[in-house]
Chains A and B, each alone.
Chain A
Amino acid sequence: MKRKSIYGLAVVMYLMTIGCDNTEDGNYVDPITLYEKVNGNWGLANLKMVDDFAKANKIEPSEQNLSTYFNYEDFKIKFNVDEKMNPTSYEVLGDVPPLFAPTGFWELSSDFQPTNASGPVRIYLYSDAQKTQKTDELRLTSVPGNNDEMELQLVHSSGGSAFVSYVFKLNAIN
């Protein structure tokens, strides 16, 4: 009986040793790109219209909440990727005014969140799969983290000066 216990203990220890042999140290895994975080379905939590000209000149009001107007409660956006996590098409769901093209193709200005002060990553929107015909550009002002929230900004500029922007706060769906 005692011998059996010793054998059992030896087997357990052997298994533990084997089990610890192939420790995952990250060396062989590709780093997580922004595409992995951005792809998927997103629903609107809040839409804000910002008067950038008023804000710059300290004039009030400089912001208005549009969440309850023009059916924006139903706004959803889906960013698709292929099996290699390359961006493919995107689609806006919900009958909302076309602030930007409701369907098309997308890519990011950077695969990763920049660490320098180069400003937010851009989401380039295209009408063609070859991504030669740019239709719009969004700014990824808040990157999805553990909270499954993302913030996109559509900036309207004229002569290089932003005068209106639309801030979409989004929540991940499923």
Chain B
Amino acid sequence: MKKIIYTILLALLMVPNFVQAQENAGAVGPMSSFPVVYKYDEQVTWYFDLSGTTFLENEDLYIWIWSPSEPDAGNWENSSDFAKLHYEGDKIWSFTLTPTAYFSKTPEEIAASAGFWFRLKNKNGSKQSDVANLTYTDFSSFYTANEVIKSYPSKPTIDKPVSILFNSNLKAGFTGVPSVHFHSGLNDWAVLQEYQAWIPEVSEKTKLKDLGNGFYRMDLIPQEYYNTEPGFVMENITFLMVAKDWTTNSGDQILYAGEFIPPPPPVFGFFPLQISQKDFLGMYRKNNESGVNKLIYKITAGSKTIEGEISGTTSEIKGFVNLVSELKGIPNLSEIHVLVKDNKDKTISDTSIPLKTLDK
């Protein structure tokens, strides 16, 4: 009996050695999907912005989802390939799935579930995000809304996906048409993507998805679909829904664009504004570009070089360099040269800072 107790105690003492240290990588940032609205039995791509997390660029990541069901159950320490995310760049990962197939559930069962609840993780589970929930936009009310057109979001923006729904039952001549096409332009037809029925590629590009029962949907990202120049300001999308070979159309329609809010510009600064060699040199950068989460510095003071890096998030990277110890006792220093780069090798600052002489 004693032996058994000792064995159990020993086993309990050893438990921590086998439990893997788990790193919390942080919260999943903004999520989106393409198409914006979709049925549970349609293929969809989810996008996850992980720029605010400690996941590394291009790291192999996996989805661990347990609602509506848990397809990769039992494999926390060795995620399956079917749960692997695709790296899109700029610390955005995507996952493409057809929910009914992935979760082995009917659309009704998924609709009745608690929604999509998951974590994103590395292969062996040593690094994981916070619990996240991807919201689903239910557009089924459109089927009975008696509206010809409905857009998600109602005011599209140039760089974000939009789904435009069309109820052809409310327009004459669409019954039984082989396909419906999106004949459109931006800013009152200033930039065009017409429905050119005689060009197969254009015909395919402009084709709406048939949702059945006379309902159709167009999915696009304006800047990609219209191939606009950087900085183009979208004011509206003007369009007609056109039956194949122009046998009929919906009449002129317009969607007004939402206000494009450019991200705030990055701000870099040193702290304090005046410094001696017996001070700490602080540096900070706010509103960093996507994927920028480190400042790598090289400080030259006479013959001495101090190198290091400061980590943070896209919202702020901040840290201090210990000049107090590093420059202690070095005579005749009048300035330091500071070179700061981000983790994408872009030079943030390349400057000399004069050193104040302290009063005795």
Which residues 89-146 of A sit at the B interface, judged by CB distance below 8 A? 97-99
User: For the complex, what is the distance from the CA of A70 to the CA of B322, rounded to whole Å?
Assistant: 8
Contact A97 B272 (CB under 8 A): no
Shortest CB–CB separation between residue A62 and chain B, in angstroms?
Answer: 8
Q: Check if B155 is an interface residue, CB within 8 A of chain A.
A: no
Binds B, one of A2-10, A11-19, A76-84, A155-163: A155-163
When A97-B322, A98-B324, A163-B272 are in contact, do A157 and B282 touch as well, CB less than 8 Å?
no
Which residues 279-296 of B sit at the A interface, judged by CB distance below 8 A? 279-280, 282, 284
User: For the complex, what is the distance from the CA of A70 to the CA of B319, rounded to whole Å?
Assistant: 11
Residue among A54, A66, A70, A163 with the most chain B CB within 10 A?
A: A163
CB-defined contacts of B269 to chain A, threshold 8 Å: 61
When A61-B271, A97-B325, A160-B359 are in contact, do A66 and B276 touch as well, CB less than 8 Å?
no
When A49-B272, A51-B271, A164-B272 are in contact, do A99 and B322 touch as well, CB less than 8 Å?
no
Contact A158 B273 (CB under 8 A): no
When A70-B322, A97-B325 are in contact, do A158 and B359 touch as well, CB less than 8 Å?
yes
The count of chain A contact residues (Cβ–Cβ below 8 Å) is 21
Contact B359 A64 (CB under 8 A): no
CB-defined contacts of A59 to chain B, threshold 8 Å: 273
CB-defined contacts of B82 to chain A, threshold 8 Å: none
Contact B274 A64 (CB under 8 A): no
Q: Check if B3 is an interface residue, CB within 8 A of chain A.
A: no
Q: Check if A28 is an interface residue, CB within 8 A of chain B.
A: no
CB-defined contacts of B275 to chain A, threshold 8 Å: 163-164
Contact A163 B356 (CB under 8 A): yes
Residue among A52, A59, A70, A97 with the most chain B CB within 10 A?
A: A97
When A97-B325, A98-B325, A98-B328 are in contact, do A51 and B273 touch as well, CB less than 8 Å?
yes
Contact A163 B274 (CB under 8 A): yes
Q: Check if B358 is an interface residue, CB within 8 A of chain A.
A: yes
Contact A97 B324 (CB under 8 A): yes
A to B contact number (C-beta, < 8 Å): 64
Query: In chain B, what residue has the closest Cβ to A99?
Result: B324
When A59-B273, A156-B276, A158-B276 are in contact, do A49 and B325 touch as well, CB less than 8 Å?
no
Shortest CB–CB separation between residue B79 and chain A, in angstroms?
Answer: 35
User: For the complex, what is the distance from the CA of A11 to the CA of B6, rounded to whole Å?
Assistant: 70
Shortest CB–CB separation between residue B267 and chain A, in angstroms?
Answer: 11
What mask results when residues 312 to 331 of chain B are scored 1 for a CB within 8 Å of chain A, else 0?
A: 00000001101011001000
CB-defined contacts of A61 to chain B, threshold 8 Å: 269, 271, 284
Shortest CB–CB separation between residue B58 and chain A, in angstroms?
Answer: 31
Contact A51 B359 (CB under 8 A): no
Contact B356 A66 (CB under 8 A): no
User: For the complex, what is the distance from the CA of A97 to the CA of B324, rounded to whole Å?
Assistant: 6
Pick from B274, B320, B328, B359: contact of A164, CB under 8 Å: B274
Shortest CB–CB separation between residue A56 and chain B, in angstroms?
Answer: 10
User: For the complex, what is the distance from the CA of A121 to the CA of B267, rounded to whole Å?
Assistant: 40
* Subset of 16 A-B contacts with CB under 8 Å: A51-B271, A52-B272, A53-B272, A53-B274, A64-B271, A66-B280, A70-B320, A98-B328, A156-B278, A156-B279, A158-B357, A158-B359, A159-B359, A163-B272, A163-B274, A164-B272
Residue ranges of A at the interface with B (Cβ–Cβ < 8 Å): 49, 51-54, 59, 61, 64, 66, 69-70, 97-99, 156-160, 163-164
Q: List the 5 shortest-distance A-B pairs measured between CB atoms, nearest first.
A: A51-B272, A97-B324, A158-B356, A163-B274, A157-B359
If A97-B280, A158-B274 are given as contacts, then 5 extra A-B residue pairs at C-beta distance below 8 Å, sorted by A number, are A49-B280, A53-B272, A61-B269, A158-B356, A164-B279
